[in-house]
Amino acid sequence: MDLVMPVMDGFEATRHIRQVPELKDVVVIASSASVFEENRQNSLAAGCNAFLPKPIRTDSLFALLRQHAGVVWEYEGAPLPELQTPETTTELIPPPTGELQELYDSAKKGQIMGVREHIARLEQLETKYHPFTATLRHYAKGFNLRKLCEFLRPYLEEKS
């Protein structure tokens, strides 16, 4: 919860969230560039579970999510199952390089929603790309953007 927002600040928004019975147990982590102890105390008094100063360090955010939401992080998990292409397809046919480059750029930036939207657009281009996009979707579904980039890289290099 950003503490500084237009219309309603994070303290008030958190108080409203805590008044809704279905949301009373939702984890709220306050965040602000102002690191005064008063902001930290006010956020906790408003009902936030924790306070995270900006700029947000991912390791701190992950630790708070583990502590308050029970999220278990798997950094080097089990490998994804091998992909099987349909029996009728012997070769993956990639979409145009420009399309792949845009997808690659989104994946490198960690924009998972953009990646998924781009895959959906690629699926609409031509059915011959479906086995290729099925592979992309597999990696995106597993949030494995590193593998997705590794898969795309040869297709981008061979057309360069």
Per-residue model confidence as pLDDT tens digits over 117-135: 999 899 888 888 888 888 8
Sign of the CA dihedral with 70 first, then 76, 77, and 83 last: positive
Q: What is the pLDDT of residue 158?
A: 64
User: Is 95 strand, coil or helix?
Assistant: coil
Q: How many helices (H) and strands (E) does the chain have?
A: 7, 2
Inter-axis angle of helices 112-125 and 145-158, nearest 10: 50
Please, what is the average pLDDT of the chain? 82
Q: How far is residue 85's CA from residue 135's CA, in Å, rounded to a whole number?
A: 8
pLDDT digits (tens, 9 = 90+) for 87-117: 333 467 889 999 999 999 999 998 888 999 9
- The model's pTM is 0.45
pLDDT surpassing 50 at residue 85: no
Alpha-carbon dihedral sign for residues 123, 120, 155, 83:
negative
Q: Residue ranges per domain, the chain?
A: 10-69, 97-158
CATH H-level, domain 10-69: superfamily: Response regulator (3.40.50.2300)
Q: How far apart are CA 63 and CA 130, in angstroms?
A: 39
